[in-house]
Amino acid sequence: MELGLAGKTALVTGGSKGIGLETARALAREGVKVLICARRETALAEAARDIMATTQAKIETHSLDVTKVEQIEKIPRVIGEKLGRLDILVNNAGTGTYKPFLEVTDAELIDGMAINFFAQFRICQRIVPLMIAHRRNRPRSVFQKCSPTSWRRTTSASIA
C-alpha cells in the first residue's frame, strides 16, 4: 500500500512485539524511518533484524521503560540523535489486566494506569512540542489507545 509516508520518521513504543512490531514493519515498508522502543534490548535487536529481513529497512532501537519518568525525559534527545525529527508517534506500549473486575488488585490497577495512561500522557507531553517545531509543510500524527485530553489544538490524533 502506498500511503505517501516515504521519508517520514516514526517512534513506535512497544515496538519489539505484537501490534507494535507489525506497525513498525508496516511503516518501514512505506519508507518511514522507524525508531522502536521497549524494555528488553535483546527483543528490540531481534525485532530490528526481523523487520530488516522483510523490508530491507534499517530500524533504530532504544531501550525504554515507559513507566519511568527519568527515561521518558531522555526521549527527545534520543529522537534527535536517531531520527533527527519526529513526524509520527505510535504510543503503543501497554498492557491489560485480563481478569474479572472484582478480582483486580489495587497494585494491578496502579500498574495498569502507569503504563496505559500516565506513560502515554507523559510521552505525548515531551514529544508533541518536537512535532510542532517541525510541522511546517509536514503532516504529523499521534496514534494511541486512549485520549486523555484534546489534541485538536496541537496535532492530529487517531484512536487505535
Ligand X SMILES: NC(=O)c1ccc[n+]([C@@H]2O[C@H](COP(=O)([O-])OP(=O)(O)OC[C@H]3O[C@@H](n4cnc5c(N)ncnc54)[C@H](OP(=O)(O)O)[C@@H]3O)[C@@H](O)[C@H]2O)c1
Residue of 26, 43, 45, 78 that binds ligand X (CB under 6 A): 43
Residue of 6, 40, 109, 138 that binds ligand X (CB under 6 A): 40
Tell the smallest beta-carbon distance from residue 138 to ligand X (Å): 26
DSSP conformation letters of 49-69 = HHHHHHH----EEEE--TT-H
Is residue 75 at the binding interface for ligand X, with CB under 6 A as the rule? no
Tell the smallest beta-carbon distance from residue 83 to ligand X (Å): 18
Residue of 46, 67, 76, 117 that binds ligand X (CB under 6 A): 67
Q: Which is nearer to ligand X, 50 or 65 (CB)?
A: 65
Is residue 61 at the binding interface for ligand X, with CB under 6 A as the rule? no
Tally of residues, the chain: 160
Q: Pick from 57, 95, 89: which is nearest to 76 by CA?
A: 89
Cα–chain center distance at 126: 12
Tell the smallest beta-carbon distance from residue 48 to ligand X (Å): 12
Q: Residue 61 to residues 2, 58, 78, 83, 90: CA-CA distances in angstroms?
A: 25, 10, 10, 11, 14
Cα–chain center distance at 136: 22
Q: Which is nearer to ligand X, 39 or 82 (CB)?
A: 39
Is residue 24 at the binding interface for ligand X, with CB under 6 A as the rule? no
Subset of 94-153 contacting ligand X (CB under 6 A): 94-96, 115, 145
CA dihedral of 101, 150, 7, 77, whole degrees rounded to 10: -80
- Residues near ligand X (CB under 6 A) are 13-14, 16-20, 38-40, 43, 64-67, 92-96, 115, 145
